[in-house]
C-alpha cells in the first residue's frame, strides 16, 4: 500500500494549496505553470481554476494561509505564556515546529521575501499587529527588575483579563493588552517566569533573550525594510559617513559567562571585563543604523569578515558608548563591499575596542537580471604544517545557542528548512560564532588563558560552516609578527575562516 501524505487526504482545495506551496517553493512563482499544480493533485486545469481564478490568486491564498495561522496562533501563545508563567520558549518552539513540520513553508516564505518583495509586502502588513504584540512581550522582560510576588497576573483580574480560551475579537485588543501590561510593570513577572526553571530547548538558557532587545528590533527593521523598501533608487551615501552614537546597556555577567563557556573558553580569563569578541551583541544594532540609507538589497547581505583592535579591556557593568559609521563602499556592476567601523568604550575606558565589519552584497545587473556574485571564490586551505589549538564538535543547535547569546535570530542559522531554501544543506553557524570559537581557542591554548594579551584579530569568512559539524582551530607562527589563524576540518582542507591575530609587542601585518 502506498503511503499517502496527510495533505492529500484533505479536500481538493487543501490539496491544491499544499501542492502550490511545495511547487512554488521548489521552482518559484514565475517558473511554475498552473498546469503543474493541477497535475500534482490529479485534477484538471479548469477544476483548479474553479477554486482559484488565477495563479496569482492561488499564491495569495498560500501566503494568506500561513499568515492566518500566525495571526490566530501567536496571540494565544503570548496570552497563555503571560497567564500561566509559561516560558518564552513556547513562542520560539512553535516557530520551529511550524516550519520543521513542513519545510516547504519556509522555502516559500524565503522565495517570496527575496524574489517578490513588492507583492509580498502588501500581504505582510496583515501580520504587523501580531509582530507588534511580540515586540511588546519582549519589552516586558527587557529591564532587569527585582523578581517579587507583587507582580500583576494576567488572567481573570489582570490588566488584560480575557476569558479562558476566548479569542480576541480584534488583534488591536492584543496590542493594547501588551501595552497595558508593560505600563503595569509586568517585566518583573516575565523575568520571574523565566527564572523558575533551568530547562531549555538547548544548552543555553533562553533567559539571555531578554537582553537582546536592540538586536531583535534591528533584525525586525531590516526584515520589514526589505519588504517595504520603495522602488525608487536612492543615491549612494558619501563615505566616510557621519558617526551614529548610542549608549547601550552592558551585557550582564551571566551573559558574559554563558558566552565564554559556549565558545569553549574559561570565564576566569575575563575577570571584570567583557570579551571583545562578544562585540556583535551590542555593535550590530548600531551598525545597522549606519547601513540604513544604503540603496542595496539588504536581505542579501553576506558577512564577509571582521577585524577587532583592543587598546584596553572593556570593564564589565559599565554602560557602553557605541559609535558606528560607514567607512568605505567598493561597488561594481554586480556587487558592493561595505566596510563599517564601530568604536566601543565606557566612561572609564573610552574607545577601548575598535571593530571593522565587512559585508558583501550581490547586486542585480542592468536589465533586471538576478544578482550574480563576483566574490573572490579562490579556496584558502588550512596549511599542512598548521598547529591545532582546539577541535570543535558543534551540534545542530549551535546556531540557536549563539542566537540566544547575541540576539541574531536569523532563521538561516537555526531553522534547517529555511537554510535549505536559501541554498544550504542545513542551518549554518553565524560567522561571528565561528569567530568566537576561534578567539577562545587562541586565548586558552596560545595565550594560556591570558585574554588581556590579545591585541588584534582579523577574520575572513570564506565558506559556511554547516551544522552539525566538526572542525579544528589552527594557527601558524609567522615571522611578520602576526600569527595566522584558521578554522577547518583538518590541515590541508578548505578553511571556513582564515585570518590572523597579534598579541602585545606584535603588530598586525
Q: How confident is the model at residue 235, as a pLDDT?
A: 75
CATH number of the domain within which 98 lies: 1.10.357
160 and 28 within one domain: yes
CATH number of the domain within which 301 lies: 3.10.129.10
Please indicate, yes or no, if residue 211 is contained in any of the structural domains: no
382 and 367 within one domain: no
Please indicate, yes or no, if residue 220 is contained in any of the structural domains: no
Question: Which residues are CB-neighbours of 236 under 8 A, at least 6 positions away?
Answer: 294, 295, 329, 331
Mean pLDDT for each consecutive 10-residue tract of the chain (509 residues)? Answer: 40 88 84 90 90 88 78 63 51 70 78 70 60 60 43 33 39 49 43 36 76 75 52 73 94 95 94 96 90 80 95 95 95 92 97 96 65 65 95 93 92 90 92 97 94 96 96 88 93 96 69
Please indicate, yes or no, if residue 210 is contained in any of the structural domains: no
Residue 176: Cβ within 10 Å count:
16
3-state helix, strand, coil in the chain (%, to 5): 45, 20, 35
178 and 47 within one domain: yes
355 and 412 within one domain: no
Give which of 89, 12, 97, 2 is closest to 46, Cα–Cα: 12
What's the number of domains the chain is made of? 3
160 and 88 within one domain: yes
271 and 167 within one domain: no
**Single residue among 352, 376, 400 that ends a domain in this structure:** 376
321 and 286 within one domain: yes
361 and 412 within one domain: no
| Torsion, CA 145, CA 148, CA 149, CA 150, rounded to 10 | -50
Please indicate, yes or no, if residue 501 is contained in any of the structural domains: yes
**Single residue among 313, 346, 376 that ends a domain in this structure:** 376
Q: How confident is the model at residue 423, as a pLDDT?
A: 87
Please indicate, yes or no, if residue 206 is contained in any of the structural domains: no
495 and 385 within one domain: yes
Residue with cell 542579501: 300
Q: How confident is the model at residue 318, as a pLDDT?
A: 96
Burial of 393 (0-12, 13-18, 19+ CB in 10 A): exposed
- CA dist., res. 333 & res. 399, Å (int): 33
DSSP state of 263: T
Q: Which residues pair with 344 in a beta bridge?
A: 322, 353
Q: How confident is the model at residue 133, as a pLDDT?
A: 59
- CA dist., res. 323 & res. 327, Å (int): 12
The DSSP annotation for 85-127 comes to T--THHHHHHHHHHHHH-HHHHHHHHHHHHH-HHHHHHHHGGG
Q: How confident is the model at residue 478, as a pLDDT?
A: 78
**Single residue among 326, 346, 376 that ends a domain in this structure:** 376
Q: How confident is the model at residue 495, as a pLDDT?
A: 98
The answer to whether 290 and 324 are in contact (CB under 8 A) is yes
Q: How confident is the model at residue 189, as a pLDDT?
A: 40
Q: How confident is the model at residue 209, as a pLDDT?
A: 87
Please indicate, yes or no, if residue 214 is contained in any of the structural domains: no
423 and 328 within one domain: no
Range of the domain at 390: 378-509
265 and 404 within one domain: no
Please indicate, yes or no, if residue 205 is contained in any of the structural domains: no
Segment (H or E) for 499: strand 495-503
Q: Is the pTM of this model over 0.85?
A: no
Q: How confident is the model at residue 74, as a pLDDT?
A: 65
- CA dist., res. 189 & res. 192, Å (int): 5
247 and 155 within one domain: no
Please indicate, yes or no, if residue 208 is contained in any of the structural domains: no
Amino acid at each position: 500500500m502506498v503511503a499517502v501524505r496527510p495533505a492529500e487526504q484533505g479536500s481538493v482545495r487543501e490539496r491544491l494549496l499544499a501542492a502550490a506551496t511545495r511547487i512554488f517553493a521548489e521552482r518559484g512563482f514565475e517558473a511554475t505553470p498552473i498546469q503543474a499544480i493541477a497535475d500534482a493533485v490529479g485534477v484538471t486545469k479548469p477544476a483548479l481554476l474553479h477554486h482559484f481564478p488565477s495563479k496569482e490568486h492561488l499564491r495569495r491564498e498560500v501566503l494568506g494561509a500561513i499568515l492566518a495561522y500566525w495571526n490566530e496562533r501567536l496571540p494565544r501563545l503570548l496570552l497563555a505564556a503571560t497567564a500561566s508563567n509559561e516560558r518564552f520558549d513556547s513562542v520560539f518552539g512553535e516557530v520551529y515546529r511550524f516550519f520543521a513540520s513542513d519545510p516547504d513553508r519556509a522555502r516559500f516564505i524565503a522565495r517570496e521575501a527575496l524574489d517578490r518583495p513588492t507583492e509580498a509586502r502588501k500581504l505582510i502588513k496583515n501580520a504587523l499587529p501580531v509582530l507588534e504584540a511580540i515586540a511588546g512581550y519582549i519589552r516586558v522582560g527587557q529591564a532587569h527588575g527585582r523578581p517579587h510576588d507583587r507582580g500583576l497576573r494576567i488572567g481573570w483580574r489582570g490588566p488584560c483579563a480575557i476569558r479562558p480560551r476566548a479569542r480576541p475579537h480584534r488583534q488591536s485588543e492584543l496590542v493594547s493588552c501588551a501595552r497595558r501590561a508593560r505600563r503595569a510593570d509586568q517585566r518583573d513577572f516575565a523575568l520571574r517566569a523565566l527564572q523558575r526553571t533551568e530547562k531549555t530547548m538547548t544548552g543555553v538558557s533562553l533567559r539571555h533573550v531578554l537582553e537582546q532587545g536592540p538586536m531583535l528590533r534591528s533584525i525586525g527593521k531590516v526584515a520589514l525594510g526589505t519588504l517595504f523598501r520603495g522602488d525608487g533608487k536612492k543615491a549612494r551615501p558619501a563615505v566616510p559617513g557621519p558617526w551614529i552614537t548610542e549608549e547601550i546597556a552592558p551585557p550582564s555577567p551571566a551573559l558574559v559567562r554563558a558566552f565564554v563557556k559556549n565558545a569553549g573558553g574559561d570565564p576566569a580569563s575575563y575577570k571584570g571585563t567583557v570579551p571583545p569578541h562578544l562585540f556583535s551583541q551590542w555593535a550590530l544594532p548600531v551598525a545597522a543604523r549606519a547601513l540604513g540609507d544604503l540603496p542595496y538589497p539588504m536581505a542579501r547581505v553576506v558577512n564577509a569578515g571582521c577585524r577587532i583592535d583592543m587598546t584596553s579591556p572593556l570593564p564589565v557593568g559599565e554602560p557602553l558608548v557605541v559609535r558606528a559609521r560607514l567607512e568605505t563602499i567598493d561597488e561594481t556592476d554586480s556587487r558592493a563591499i561595505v566596510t563599517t567601523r564601530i568604536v566601543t568604550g565606557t566612561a572609564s575606558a573610552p574607545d577601548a575596542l575598535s571593530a571593522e565589519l565587512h559585508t558583501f552584497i550581490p547586486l542585480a545587473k542592468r536589465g533586471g537580471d538576478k544578482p550574480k556574485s563576483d566574490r573572490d571564490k579562490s579556496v584558502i586551505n588550512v596549511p599542512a604544517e598548521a598547529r591545532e589549538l582546539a577541535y570543535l564538535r558543534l551540534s545542530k543547535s549551535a546556531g540557536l545557542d549563539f542566537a540566544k547569546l547575541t540576539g541574531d535570530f536569523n532563521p538561516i542559522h537555526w531553522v534547517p528548512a529555511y537554510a535549505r531554501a536559501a541554498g544550504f544543506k542545513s542551518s549554518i553557524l553565524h560567522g561571528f560564532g565561528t569567530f568566537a570559537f576561534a578567539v577562545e581557542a587562541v586565548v586558552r591554548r596560545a595565550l594560556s588563558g591570558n585574554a588581556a594579551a590579545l591585541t588584534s584579530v582579523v577574520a575572513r569568512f570564506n565558506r559556511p560552516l554547516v551544522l552539525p559539524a566538526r572542525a579544528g582551530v589552527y594557527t601558524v607562527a609567522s615571522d611578520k609578527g602576526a600569527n595566522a589563524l584558521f578554522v577547518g576540518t583538518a590541515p590541508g582542507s578548505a578553511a571556513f575562516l582564515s585570518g590572523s591575530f597579534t598579541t602585545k609587542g606584535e603588530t598586525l601585518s
